[in-house]
Amino acid sequence: QHSEQEVFGDRAGLAEPGRALLDTGCVQCHAVRGELLPGVTGIELSGIADRIQPQWFQEFLFNPADLKPGTRMPTFFPNGKSANPAVLGGSVDRQIAAMWTYLKEIDQHRLPDKIIQARSQNFELVPKNRPILLRTFMEQAGTQAIAVGFPQRVHIAFDAEGVRLAQAWRGRFLDAHGTWFDRFAPAAAPLGEDIVAFPTGVPLALLTDPEQPWPTPVGDEAGYRFSGYRLDQQGVPTFLYRFNHFDVADRIEPDERRGLKRRLLITNLDSGDRDGADLSFRAIVGKKPQRTQPGSFAAEDGLTATVKGPDGDGGALREIENTFEWIIPIVVDKEETIDVEYRW
């Protein structure tokens, strides 16, 4: 194999022209230093000078299809001529040398301009006329979070893997830059304030006796299967899932007091079976929730849950392992609705 010097000659001052050349095409398909444009799927270019030989790089860039038949990579040099004649006088050899130089010294130079521009843009999502849904990764809602931003400036995050309402907040919604551009981005975080976390664990369970602990597994391990969501004409999602022999349609949206209203429509698929008598809904969890009015309990973190129908003022506040839970039994012969209001 030939050395860099033999293949490219003197490379002094070529890194910046190489950066400009990458900006004209390479960044449309490849990541650079972990940064990428929307829809990019090609290999990461950083460190490529350590992975391949200089001569192979030169020959491949000159005619990709010749070395790799069937490749999707287009040529920079159709008919042996540069598509960028203004760079380095249009010299094919010098342009390839420049790209090699930039990639070899990539940690010492700026990113290509298109990537810099994409990073500097404002990717804050602002719901205006309809809700905005974003599938993302969030610390409270997990790797399969569905964040829903509402024009009323009250927002939620639903954990589609654990199948549970995870979080709510007010004010600004989310920044989508990390979700759209950086596959190694940290968890998306609410941009607003008044952030509240809902109880970890599934919302419904089949309990064999009043003292049985609420199940700790979530999602598949708890017998739940998430089926997606449907949108109404206003764009409000209803989350759909199955637990045991119950289908659940779970609609959550802001109310007129900047809280949330939630309606769970539960359908018993085995309508002749009275096993539904063992079904329970966990409305709130805390160190010692306080009853604020009939059908309402408030936890110490400020979250208040008010349950309407069936038996919304019933159930039991029970203590298990120094934690109190408001558990409401539900009988579902065929179909039953639970309405919940949240304040915080």
CATH code given to domain 4-120 = 1.10.760
Q: At what angle do helices 113-120 and 15-24 cross, to 10 degrees?
A: 70
Q: Is the overall model pTM greater than 0.75, yes or no?
A: no
d(CA 22, CA 328): 61
Radius of gyration for the chain, computed over Cα atoms and rounded to the nearest angstrom: 28
Domain boundaries, the chain: 4-120, 124-343
Q: What's the pLDDT score for residue 277?
A: 45
Contact, 20 vs 87, CB < 8 A? yes
**Matching CATH topology for 4-120 and 124-343?**
no
CA end-to-end span of the chain, whole Å?
Answer: 69
Q: Which CATH number describes the domain made up of 124-343?
A: 2.70.98
The one-letter amino acid at 198 = F
Which residue reads 């409000």 in tokens? 236
Q: Which stretches does DSSP call E strand in the chain?
A: 124-125, 132-138, 142-149, 154-159, 164-170, 174-175, 193-197, 204-206, 224-231, 237-243, 246-254, 260-268, 279-286, 290-293, 296-298, 304-308, 316-320, 323-330, 335-343
Q: What is the pLDDT of residue 184?
A: 59
pLDDT tens over the chain, length 344 residues: 799 999 999 999 999 999 999 998 898 889 898 887 866 667 899 999 999 999 999 999 999 988 898 888 878 888 899 988 999 999 999 999 999 999 999 989 999 999 888 777 778 899 999 999 999 999 999 999 999 999 999 999 999 999 999 999 999 999 887 787 665 567 889 999 999 999 999 999 999 888 889 999 999 999 999 999 999 999 999 999 999 999 999 999 999 999 999 999 999 998 665 554 479 999 999 998 899 988 999 999 899 999 987 665 678 899 988 889 999 999 898 999 999 999 99
